[in-house]
Chains A and B, each alone.
Chain A
Amino acid sequence: MKLNRRTFIGTTAALAAVMSAPAVMGQGKPRVVVIGGGAGGATAARYIAQDSAGAIDVTLIEPQTTYYTCFFSNLYLGGFKEISDLGHSYAKLASDYGINVVHDMAAGVDRTAKTVTLAGGGTVAYDKLIVSPGIDFVDGSVPGWSVDAQDKMPHAYKGGTQVELLKAQIMAMPAGGVFAMVAPPNPYRCPPGPYERISMVGHLLKVNNPTAKILLVDPKEKYSKQGLFEEGWAKHYPGMIERIGPDFGAANVSVDPAAMTVTIDGTVEQVHACNVIPAQKAGMIAAAAGLTDGNWAPVNPVDMSSKMDPDVYVLGDATNQGDMPKSGFSANSQAKVCANAVRGALTGSRVFPAKYSNTCWSLIAPEDGVKVGAAYEPTDEKIASVSSFISQTGEDAALRKATYEESEGWYTGITTDMFG
């Protein structure tokens, strides 16, 4: 017998009704605590608060009062966005959705007592915990670079002031100077991100410093949208961009931030601005809470619950889930599946099957946008890609412009979805 979709839904609902002894007995409302108010955390907090209509008490712990999106920060480098366009406040999550927004850092999690300790003192108790802390960098992944050197050689790979610093340094390059990027090894947040950044720096230099050069040092053999980027670079920035791959020693790279040099397989290059994007791992709190195995936090593909603890969910870049790229779109998509599961567990509401998707746009030059996307479903092992698409080389200008406009629509859409 083959059951259809409706059967599944009906049964899950019925199952929930039959089996769910309310997860939290007795006094008070069930409590959800969310660590990290980014693409994953803000979305999860908002959906749980909104859809449970007051039945669940939601606390969001996030140190920043304004979230600066990494997405579209490359467009700021290119001159297509202002920094203020990238900043979003948590005010509506508090006022319109009743979320208790705590601007502090989570310092630790006691999973036995089910409490989160705040850096500023005090603890918050939870029935279900959602952790979406984004990334941190792997120490020593680029010899010569450490977080202490981030003012000389910015990473600009987390939200905040780093991207402004990077832009100022690029603008201060001498005429004909060299901008270098050390690209990260897999896996890292936003697979096309470094290459979109190369494109936007190309545009910035084309306008302000047309004889400057770009040196891309990349330890990977291949990268996402490679054909599209290479076509675009040849068209818009001919002769400006040189990529050194692992076959020419890019896996053996070190930097000297004081001397402003990059050494590639023994050859020293003098550069004038340098963007080091180190290897990445789950945001520190994930490891501190004992949720990681290696660099990332493994999760169950059906609902994003941690493989270490059924009362904890991990979202976004910090997770090891399978085939989804680490992106804001992915984190937002995972958050909705998680929100539905958490609500079901705490209030007995219907739990629907997980379904995930992702689309990542990149801007290559003014009005020359491209995209890649895929649909995902859980299997027993992982979240698996079940279909994908990508823009084609040789597309006409009108289609590329429409694609860029779509990305603008998406930016407004997802930030509204996150922050209300």
Chain B
Amino acid sequence: MIRSTLALTCLLGLWAGLSQAAPLGDPEAGKKVYNSCKGCHEVGEGARNGVGPHLNFVFGRKAAGLEGYRYSKSLERAGVAGLEWHADTLDAYIEDPRGFASGTRMSFRGLKDPQDRANVIAYLRLYSDNPANIPEADPTARMSEYTVDAALLAMDGDREYGQYLSGECKACHLSDGADGIPSIVYWPEDDFKVALYAYKSGQRLHPVMQMIASRLGDEEIAALAAYFENPD
């Protein structure tokens, strides 16, 4: 009986905190790490360019994207080629600035400790757009991971879980379909899964459905397929 074994695990306290998104880092600790940037960069209210460009609203900004600051040719070229600052690109740049953009004028040896980088990135994130006001702004946490045990794939989808998850779908998908949004009920389970995996893998292009499918693990997809096959 899988569930009772798991119940034991849970009583040992291992269940806590699962399925939570991980913050980018600890902004409090990042404030201290930022001391190593401070000599060259301002951030916060009234921040101006100094030796380095100011770092307000840096998330989502094109590299070398501030008017009125003279960047190196190297960083400018990277910006023109499409480089934008997000948690991942910032991480790579501040780990090893010269390795990332060989001609950059940022003469800083880099932060080797990943935790320090995560923390300073979380600190800088406080000074970029707030998603509550600007929903398209960069995320402030990392999506939780779905680790899948192959043995589970053979299991039947959990209909009750599927019913819970279907709440998200029903904001848009009516059972008989509506203008602009197709019906997704009474589909054979396999077809349903194929459609969701196609969005998840990016083969089917649609930003809403790609976002929704990207956060569904195999488990969730099986549960949804089982529920929508016969939702009544």
Contact = CB atoms under 8 A, between A and B. Distances in A.
A350 B19 CA distance: 16
A404 B181 CA distance: 11
B15 to A, nearest CB: 4
B129 interface: yes
Contacts of A359: 172, 208
A13 B1 CA distance: 14
B190 interface: no
Interface residues of B, number: 64
B146 interface: yes
A11 B15 CA distance: 7
Nearest to B207: A389
B164 A14 contact: no
Contacts of B179: 405, 408-409, 412
A384 B139 CA distance: 7
Contacts of A12: 10, 15
Nearest to B214: A387
A405 B180 contact: yes
Interface in A381-414: 381, 384-391, 402, 404-410, 412-414
Contacts of B208: 359, 371, 373, 389, 406
A377 B11 contact: no
Interface string B6-32: 110111001100111111000000000
A378 B20 CA distance: 6
Interface stretch (B46-54, B98-106, B147-155, B224-232): B147-155
A375 B215 contact: yes
A227 to B, nearest CB: 10
Interface in B177-232: 178-181, 207-208, 210-212, 214-215, 217, 219-220
Which of A4, A372, A389, A390 has the most chain B CB within a 10 Å cutoff? A4
B138 interface: yes
Interface residues of A, number: 76
Which of B129, B167, B219 has the most chain A CB within a 10 Å cutoff? B167
A233 B164 CA distance: 41
A235 interface: no
Nearest to B151: A6
Contacts of A191: 133-135
Nearest to B223: A9
A8 B211 contact: no
A11 B6 contact: yes
B3 A372 contact: no
Given A374-B135, A384-B23, A18 B219 contact: no
A192 to B, nearest CB: 8
B40 to A, nearest CB: 25
Contact of A379 (B131, B141, B147): B141
Contacts of A404: 180
B161 interface: yes
A374 to B, nearest CB: 5
Contacts of A406: 172, 180-181, 208
A14 B136 contact: no
B173 interface: yes
B80 to A, nearest CB: 18
Nearest to A416: B174
Contact of B135 (A13, A224, A377): A224
Interface string A343-376: 0000000101101011110000000000111110
Interface of B: 2-4, 6-7, 9-11, 14-15, 18-23, 129-144, 146-149, 152, 158, 160-161, 163-165, 167-168, 170-174, 178-181, 207-208, 210-212, 214-215, 217, 219-220
